[in-house]
């Protein structure tokens, strides 16, 4: 019974620690057979076709480069920090989910992360990140790049940089460390002014969010993307 009570207390600590700052829901031919009557016509046809073939080749390479940059990921096959994944995001022009390219570029922990949290708290009165409730916990800050493709619906109102995020265990459930279950939330702490930034196609935007994590814990997943859409899975550190 005592063990259950202790577990509930720890779960409550993590749940309320970032409660005021829960992440918002906002959230990829033809074969030609030609007959040439004389050599002059053949030469002329070849000259006309060469630029077209070159153009097609360039277009193919460009498309392949974009598709290879962003990789699909799953719970069992997460991406490494620095790789680019695919995550759904809500557009400003319609209520539907659309895929974007996201890259988890870094995870900051310890004193450096605390400085970023303190800086956020000093610049935001309405939303505050609560102090750590246990010496076994520390702040962490995840930094990411997000890019929308050409066909992502956009206008002067959005979409913005922020994307939904989660912290889970390697099994996709709550984070368990040393036999204790930790329930976590995230809080967007992107640099000041980023809330006014509107993403443009193929132009990366930079964001970051804070969360709490047990000291010494590195076996966890960072998920980016809307709850009922495509998610990008990244290994934590």
User: What pLDDT does residue 17 have?
Assistant: 52
Q: Measured between alpha carbons, how far is 146 from 98 in angstroms, rounded to an integer?
A: 13
User: What pLDDT does residue 56 have?
Assistant: 39
User: What pLDDT does residue 121 have?
Assistant: 94
User: What pLDDT does residue 141 have?
Assistant: 98
Tokens, residue 55:
């153009």
Best CA proximity match to 89, nearest among 235, 187, 205, 211: 205
User: What pLDDT does residue 54 have?
Assistant: 39
**Structure-derived torsion over alpha carbons of residues 89, 93, 94, 97, reported in degrees to the nearest 10:** -10
Best CA proximity match to 233, nearest among 223, 179, 225: 223
User: What pLDDT does residue 160 have?
Assistant: 92
User: What pLDDT does residue 34 have?
Assistant: 40
Q: Measured between alpha carbons, how far is 214 from 10 in angstroms, rounded to an integer?
A: 11
- Asked if residues 132 and 212 have their Cβ atoms less than 8 Å apart, the reply is yes
In total, the chain counts a number of residues equal to 237
The full set of domain ranges for the chain reads 2-28+73-235
Best CA proximity match to 199, nearest among 65, 53, 26: 26
User: What pLDDT does residue 196 have?
Assistant: 81
Give me the tens of pLDDT residue by residue for the chain, a chain 237 residues long.
444 434 333 444 444 455 456 433 333 334 434 433 444 444 444 444 444 443 433 332 223 234 448 999 999 999 999 999 999 998 878 888 999 999 999 999 999 999 999 999 998 878 899 999 899 999 999 999 999 999 999 888 889 999 999 999 999 999 999 999 998 899 999 987 788 889 999 999 999 999 999 999 999 999 999 988 999 999 999
């Amino acid at each position: 019974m005592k063990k259950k009570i202790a577990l509930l207390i720890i779960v409550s600590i993590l749940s309320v620690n970032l409660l005021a700052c829960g992440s918002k829901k906002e959230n990829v031919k033809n074969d030609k057979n030609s007959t040439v009557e004389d050599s002059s016509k053949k030469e002329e046809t070849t000259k006309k076709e060469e630029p077209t073939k070159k153009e097609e080749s360039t277009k193919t390479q460009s498309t392949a480069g974009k598709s290879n940059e962003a990789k699909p990921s799953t719970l069992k096959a997460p991406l490494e920090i620095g790789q680019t994944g695919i995550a759904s995001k809500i557009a400003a022009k319609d209520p539907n989910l659309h895929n974007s390219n996201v890259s988890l570029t870094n995870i900051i922990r310890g004193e450096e992360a605390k400085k970023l949290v303190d800086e956020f708290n000093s610049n935001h009165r309405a939303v505050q990140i609560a102090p750590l409730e246990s010496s076994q916990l520390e702040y962490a800050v995840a930094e990411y790049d997000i890019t929308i493709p050409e066909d992502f619906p956009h206008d002067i109102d959005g979409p913005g940089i922020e994307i939904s995020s989660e912290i889970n265990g390697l099994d996709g459930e709550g984070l368990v460390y040393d036999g204790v279950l930790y329930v976590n939330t995230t809080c967007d702490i992107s640099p000041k002014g980023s809330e006014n930034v509107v993403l443009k196609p193929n132009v990366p935007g930079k964001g970051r969010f804070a969360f709490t994590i047990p000291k010494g814990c590195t076996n966890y997943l960072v998920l980016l993307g809307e709850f009922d859409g495509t998610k990008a899975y990244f290994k934590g550190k």
